[in-house]
Amino acid sequence: MELSSLQSLSPLPLCYPKPSSSSTLSFLPFSDRTRAYFGSSVRKRATLRNSCNSAQKNFLHISRAHDHEPRCYFSPNEGLNRYCISKLYNLNKLSRYVVAKSELAGAGTPDASYSLSEVKLSSKVRGVCFYAVTAIAAISLIGFMIVAHPFVLLFDRYRRKAQHFVAKLWAAATVAPFFKIEYEGLENLPSHDAPAVYVSNHQSFLDIYTLLTLGRSFKFISKTAIFLFPIIGWAMSMMGTIPLKRMDSRSQLECLKRCMDLIGNGASVFFFPEGTRSKDGKLGDFKKGAFSVAAKTRVPVVPITLIGTGGIMPAGMEGVVNSGSVKVIIHKPIKETDPEILRQIARNTILDTLKLRG
């Protein structure tokens, strides 16, 4: 098992025999005479191999320098392989704030070390202020949505423009003190009354705030658990957000049917076709659901590229708000009857933009 297959685990904890006078140890059996330790190095690249022969003998091989390394001794009777695997996965859960730069898997430089071991205090403070501002804005505006909702159901049941206007005010008031949004290609947006399927890359929790500032009454798709939150869940329900239970095929089918029903009644829908936020900023594969809806209802797909949200609030670090700016690029609508062609064109459009501008 090459270490490159574990590149998602960072920083890398290593288990190996207690070093002797030599800095490089070969395959050695862990007997009662030899004790082992767990540690991490900041000096050189490490390689971890588990060949067929060593797998049979339960041996590990580590090549690295051992100078000034923290050590935690334990008895080999505890089960070395099980101990190592446990440490690897447990530390991975705690390493979201740590960036390990290395030469592993061809990434980084040989002299790189663990940088960014801490999130800046200013970013944490900004994160606290961000949620304070969004809570105050939500509490202040939810009353308008509640009062307007009966009239919205009577006169604008599908588009719900009034509720989306309030949501735009909430999003704009929240992000304004923290980052600037630059828009490009606004002329490519369909008219307010023209239904369409909007798709975008998904990098951050801030994507929703950013997209709401466009002022279009498209319906997002959200996990059902989010609807249970006070105020936010109520607002989502009044806006007509579509609930979805992940990993539930029946819920997914109902979601797609509701999307087609909304489009048939003049409303627009919004998909993040990757299905979840990108952990590394790279664009993931697009699922076909959004493009099947567009093809069956014969409405255009509007690709949108979001740049910068992942740097301000990275996925998995929702308590942090870094400084930065966001760019929203609206591309020309795509009209095709084949969902696979729609999927490929939309993804390539966003991917090429991210490569050039991201």
Q: The domain spanning residue 309 has which CATH number?
A: 3.40.1130.10
Is residue 284 domain-resident?
yes
- CA 188-141-202 angle, to 5 degrees, is 40
Is residue 305 domain-resident?
yes
Q: Which two three-digit tokens encode residue 162?
A: 């009034």
pLDDT at 90: 52
pLDDT at 107: 35
Is residue 26 domain-resident?
no
Q: Which two three-digit tokens encode residue 332?
A: 């020309």
Is residue 17 domain-resident?
no
pLDDT at 155: 95
CA distance 304 to 189: 10
- Which amino acid makes up residue 125? V
Is residue 61 domain-resident?
no
Q: Which two three-digit tokens encode residue 338?
A: 């084949």
Is residue 83 domain-resident?
no
Mean pLDDT by 10 residues, the chain (358 residues): 42 44 41 41 40 40 43 45 49 43 33 46 94 96 96 95 96 96 96 94 95 94 89 93 87 92 96 89 91 95 96 92 96 94 96 89
CA 215 to chain centre: 24
Are 88 and 80 spatial neighbours (Cβ–Cβ below 8 Å)? no
Cα radius of gyration rounded to whole Å, the chain: 25
Number of structural domains in the chain: 1
DSSP 131: H
- Which amino acid makes up residue 227? F
Contacts of 358 (CB under 8 A, 6+ apart): 281, 305, 307
What pairs with residue 38 in β-bridges?
15, 72
CA distance 128 to 133: 9
pLDDT tens digits, one per residue of 5-38: 444 444 444 444 444 444 444 434 444 444 444 4
Contacts of 298 (CB under 8 A, 6+ apart): 337
Is residue 32 domain-resident?
no
Query: For residue 351, which of 307, 309, 295 has the smallest C-alpha distance?
Result: 307
Are 313 and 295 spatial neighbours (Cβ–Cβ below 8 Å)? no
**Backbone CA torsion sign across 78, 82, 87, 93:** negative
pLDDT at 21: 43
Is residue 261 domain-resident?
yes
Annotate 160-229 with DSSP letters as a single string: -HHHHHHHHHHHHHHHTTT-EEEEE-GGGSPPTTS--EEEE----THHHHHHHTT---EEPEEEGGGGGS
Q: Which two three-digit tokens encode residue 276?
A: 């979840």
Annotate 241-275 with DSSP letters as a single string: PEEE-TT-HHHHHHHHHHHHHHHHTT-EEEE-TTS
Neighbouring C-beta atoms of residue 343, cutoff 10 Å:
25
Range of the domain at 266: 119-357
CA distance 158 to 239: 9
Place of tokens 């979805």: 244
pLDDT at 33: 41
289-297 vs 249-264: helix axis angle to the nearest 10? 30
Collapsed DSSP state (helix, strand, coil) of residue 356: helix
pLDDT at 350: 96
